[in-house]
Amino acid sequence: MVVIEEAPKVAEDDDTLLEQEVNRLYSKLKKLGWDKSACESIAPYTLKINKLKRDKGFKILAHSYQTADIVFGIADIVGDSLALAKKATEIKEKRILFCGVDFMAESVKILNPEKLILVPERGRDCTLADSITGEDVVKLKEENPGVPVVCYVNTNADVKAESDICCTSANAKKIVESLDTDTIIFIPDENMGKNLAKMTGKKIITWPGYCRTHNALTIKRLENLISDDKTKTFAHFECRPEIIESVDYTGGTGDMHRYSAKATKGDKVLFLTEQGFIDRMKVEYPDVEFEDSKMICVSMKRNDLIATLKALENPTDDNVIDLDEDIRKRAYKAVSNMLKY
């Protein structure tokens, strides 16, 4: 049986508010092919969520990979993993609803233990985060005494607790270059580790972890995605080394965003990263032609408006990011070091 959830009721005299909300959503989402009736179907939710978040003192932070209804309908701050971690420490609100995956929300909690961090639908199944445990890192350190451990942000708190410094795709290269040693343990993204070794000339001890979304991109798939010779290609650091070698630019979604801001009318760009980011760019920079990557991260797509509304109305234990205090304290060093770059 299919249960269709009823849209939340808004008071009768809220007709004008509803109409304004439909128009607000349509002005953004039409760039992605949404029509007015699609906006009418989500407006009661976005209206109610936006009111609730204000009444209850929440800020909604969303990663750029979230769906467009979240990014343009309810989020207060949208960004890459580094920007979101930084912003979370800067905002005065003591309550954050985080639309993203678990390891990102955990990083926010590690930095802000006093804040309540809610996630609408837990995305615990990141192939990178699942590939390694804190115990694995302890063993790696025993096998390589004195070698610093850089962990990618896509890791659970117990792994961060055993690492010297955490990084994101935005600052990985800078951090690896800044370390005063020729050999570095980089966990758990093997593609990124190999890419960093080429870029920095350092010896990188890697771990066999990968992002299932970026690792699935092969040269053949890439060729099929490019429709025009003039298209500039920009690959996320998590892509395979052969992809990185064949594209024009490499970086994280923060770098890609800055690239979009500088692009001019008629430029064609293919960002090799999750499709949600490309949808965000299509709305924000309508003069630029963005090719679709068709790369989907299922863990990121767990959150939706219904789960968000439920979490704000009546959060369950599962919505709350709760960390063992000893692990949190030990992970703090690596995550706070990350913010310096």
Positions in the binding site for ligand 13P (CB under 6 A)? 80-81, 154, 168-170, 211, 238, 252-253
Cβ atoms of residues 187 and 163 within 8 Å? yes
Give, for 285, the enclosing helix (H) or strand (E).
Answer: none
- Least distance from ligand 13P to the Cβ atom of residue 334, Å: 16
Cα–Cα distance measured from residue 276 to residue 114, given in angstroms and rounded to the nearest whole number: 31
Taking the least distance from each CB to ligand 13P, the nearer of 66 and 200 is 66
- Least distance from ligand 13P to the Cβ atom of residue 41, Å: 29
Taking the least distance from each CB to ligand 13P, the nearer of 69 and 238 is 238
- Least distance from ligand 13P to the Cβ atom of residue 202, Å: 21
- Least distance from ligand 13P to the Cβ atom of residue 161, Å: 20
Using alpha carbons only, what angle is made at residue 199 by residues 197 and 202, rounded to the nearest 5 degrees?
40
Cα–Cα distance measured from residue 44 to residue 14, given in angstroms and rounded to the nearest whole number: 10
Taking the least distance from each CB to ligand 13P, the nearer of 42 and 170 is 170
- Least distance from ligand 13P to the Cβ atom of residue 28, Å: 21
Taking the least distance from each CB to ligand 13P, the nearer of 67 and 253 is 253
Taking the least distance from each CB to ligand 13P, the nearer of 168 and 233 is 168
3-state class (DSSP) for residue 162: coil
Cα–Cα distance measured from residue 205 to residue 251, given in angstroms and rounded to the nearest whole number: 21
> Residue 82 contacts by C-beta under 8 Å, 6 or more apart in sequence?
153, 168, 170, 171, 252, 254, 338, 339
